[in-house]
Amino acid sequence: MFSAQQYVKATSLQQALELNQKRSSAILGGGCWMRLGKKNYATLIDLSGLGLDTIEETPEEIVLGAMVTLRQLETSPVLAAAFGPLFARMTEHIVGVQFRNCATLGGSVVSRFGFSDIITGLLALDCEVELVQKGRVSLADYVQMPYDRDVLARVILKKNGRRAWYESFRNTETDLPVLNCAVSCLNGSARVVVGARPARAVMQEFGQMPSEQRLQEMLDKTEFGSNMRAGAEYRRQLAGVLCRRAIEQVKGDAECR
């Protein structure tokens, strides 16, 4: 467990950003990951008073606050209407319901874990993050950026009719994924995302749903690694199986054949 000297419930995002410039400060998400560490923080900054726990829909976008919980993503009718079971599938195996009622979207996106189900799922969509200092950045760029002291305020999803499907594999329920992937399609073009390699997710765009051969070419170029959960070669095999399953699901949609 971490320790902290001071707790500030931020009254504005600007204040949160200013307080977070000190290296001894931290934004408090759900605290589920921070709890595993033993850091000593001078100041914990809480965003829970800023109304960032909502999922809002505009004609073009769905705007998710940083404090939205994983359970909200899993059960949101708005997200289900726009993207089918994508959000339920990418969150439902993460520890348990109680955990998902605590862990936040903001903490998950900022952390950019290699194993992340959330990052892999979101990369399949047309997704931007809204940072207090840097403004809007595409998620694809954000995952490449170094960790810094900016504050993530929102995640924005374009409502453009993109179809997506999510697959993951775990050695046992509630464990971290051995591998995960997402496939999506918009106006005939496709995107394949492979994560938990175990390194950070990679993605590739295709002019049309990839054939068996095109998919194989992508996976041949993709690096897979070994850790206590699985070996690199096993992950490579698994990636082929999961991507094919996801492609079949997306192809079920008339517009994506």
Q: Which residues bind other proteins (CB under 8 A)?
A: 1-7, 9, 28, 30-33, 35-36, 41, 44, 46, 48, 71, 92-93, 95-99, 101-102, 173-174
Residue 110 interacts with ligand FAD (CB under 6 A)?
yes
Q: How far is CA 187 from CA 78, 138, 159, 247, in A?
A: 22, 20, 13, 15
Residue 10 interacts with ligand FAD (CB under 6 A)?
no
Residue 143 interacts with ligand FAD (CB under 6 A)?
no
Residue 114 interacts with ligand FAD (CB under 6 A)?
no
The phi and psi torsions of 119 (rounded to 5 degrees) equal -65, -45
By beta-carbon proximity to other proteins, the closer residue of 23 and 221 is 23
- Looking at residues 49 to 88 of the shown chain, list those that interact with ligand FAD (rule: CB under 6 A): 66, 70
117 contacts which partner out of other proteins, ligand FAD, none, CB within 5 to 8 A by kind?
ligand FAD
59 secondary structure, DSSP code: S
Return the range that interacts with ligand FAD (CB under 6 A); candidates 3-11, 22-30, 159-167, 225-233: 22-30
Q: Are 4 and 46 in contact (CB under 8 A)?
A: no
Query: How many degrees, rounded to 5, is the angle at CA 142 between CA 138 and CA 148?
Result: 140
Applying CB under 6 A, among 17, 55, 83, 106 the residue interacting with ligand FAD is 106
Residue 121 interacts with ligand FAD (CB under 6 A)?
no
Q: Are 210 and 218 in contact (CB under 8 A)?
A: yes
Return the range that interacts with ligand FAD (CB under 6 A); candidates 24-32, 77-85, 211-219, 221-229: 24-32
Q: Are 169 and 115 in contact (CB under 8 A)?
A: no
Applying CB under 6 A, among 76, 116, 184, 249 the residue interacting with ligand FAD is 116
The helix or strand, by DSSP H or E, that contains position 19, with its residue range, turns out to be: helix 13-19
Q: Are 164 and 124 in contact (CB under 8 A)?
A: yes
What are the tokens at 243?
């991507």
